[in-house]
Amino acid sequence: MNAPIAIVIHGGSGRLYKEEMPPEKEEAYKSALTAAVQEGYAILKEGGTAVAAVEASIRMLEDSPLFNAGKGAVFSSDGLNELDAAIMDGKTMKAGSVAGTRTIRNPITAARAVMEQSEHVMLTGAGADGFAAASGLQIVDPSYFKIEERWEQIQQLKQQEQASGKQSKYGTVGAVALDRSGSLAAGTSTGGMLNKKWGRIGDTPVIGAGTYANQISAVSCTGYGEFFIRYTVARDIAALMEYKNLSVEEASREVLFNKVTRAGGAGGVITLDVKGNMAALHSTEGMFWASMIKDNPCQVNVCNMIIE
Ligand code: ASP
């Protein structure tokens, strides 16, 4: 089969205030998203799998300090970086995820290793770190994740806690891809919610909540994770497409706006179907996302995140 190839990535939903976004920084986001989407697309173009493309794009975003994933992960209330990631192969319905990891440089690669090299779906904490080390993945000292800007962010939040609603929030990363054989995959990676406590885990590594793929669709989410878990957002979007024949746009809209937003949650989703139709929707002020669909030119969306 020679299906159309497609990849959509996101760099988180939320808001960014104009004063924090000088033109150089905006450019940096644009080039990071462009490079990541092109990396995944190049793999698809060479006949690589959707899983490989998703992993490659997400790894690039994890290595960038700009996003709340990998290198740029936010801090927990204890001043730690605890990272979550998941990947799902729609062709085989296999999935892997890691949660609350502290030393894995690329959590998405660890999630893929869980999927392909273990009999499990989800590993957490020290166990996930140990599994990654035993699998020969790149392990780093936790100080690798200590980025000054993120550290200041948590200090400021602690000082102001609740005092000001003007806190920028953005940066989880995700990807959905369709390869030449017609297979779909989805992946998501995050540092979770800034100031999270008590080993909190969000929707990202929960299959069916923040990440899901089957033979019909692939979905990656970002936003207020507790809502995405309770409304099983990624799976619900896929189920509406599977059982009700809704389009990517209709299914994504229904779950994001009629369920999550109505319940008081906010966030964004990227969804792709087996024909290469995509949706990139957000109920927050903005969402960073980029796409390369079939032979269409690369689309990168950064400006919608920035508010006056
Ligand atoms: N969904 C992520 C979480 O709740 C955070 C985000 O997407 O911004 O951990």
Q: In order of start, what are the domains of the chain with their CATH numbers? A: 6-301 (3.60.20.30)
Per-residue pLDDT tens digits for 243-260: 999 999 999 999 999 999
Other Cβ atoms within 10 Å of 17 Cβ, number: 14
Q: Of ligand 1's atoms, which has the minimum distance to the CA of residue 191?
A: 9
CA of 192 relative to ligand 1 center, distance in Å? 5
The continuous run of DSSP H or E covering 128 comes out as: helix 125-134
- Determine the pLDDT at residue 168: 57
**Distance, CA of 121 to CA of 55 (rounded, Å):** 16
Per-residue pLDDT tens digits for 167-187: 556 689 999 999 999 999 999
Q: Residue 80 is which amino acid? A: L
In this model, does residue 203 exceed pLDDT 60? Answer: yes
Average pLDDT, the chain: 93
Residues with CB under 6 A from ligand 1: 12, 172, 190, 192-193, 202-204, 210, 222-223, 225
- Determine the pLDDT at residue 303: 74
Q: What is the mean pLDDT of residues 108-116?
A: 98
- Determine the pLDDT at residue 165: 47
Band of pLDDT at residue 163, cut at 50, 70 and 90:
very low
Instruction: Confirm if 241 and 265 have CB atoms less than 8 A apart.
Output: no
**Distance, CA of 25 to CA of 23 (rounded, Å):** 5
In this model, does residue 164 exceed pLDDT 70? Answer: no
CA dihedral 233, 237, 240, 242 (to 10 degrees): -120
Closest-CA residue to 70 (of 156, 20, 137): 137
CA of 64 relative to ligand 1 center, distance in Å? 17
CA of 180 relative to ligand 1 center, distance in Å? 30
Band of pLDDT at residue 2, cut at 50, 70 and 90:
confident
Closest-CA residue to 211 (of 52, 95, 91, 128): 95
Q: Active-site residue numbers?
A: 172
In this model, does residue 96 exceed pLDDT 50? Answer: yes
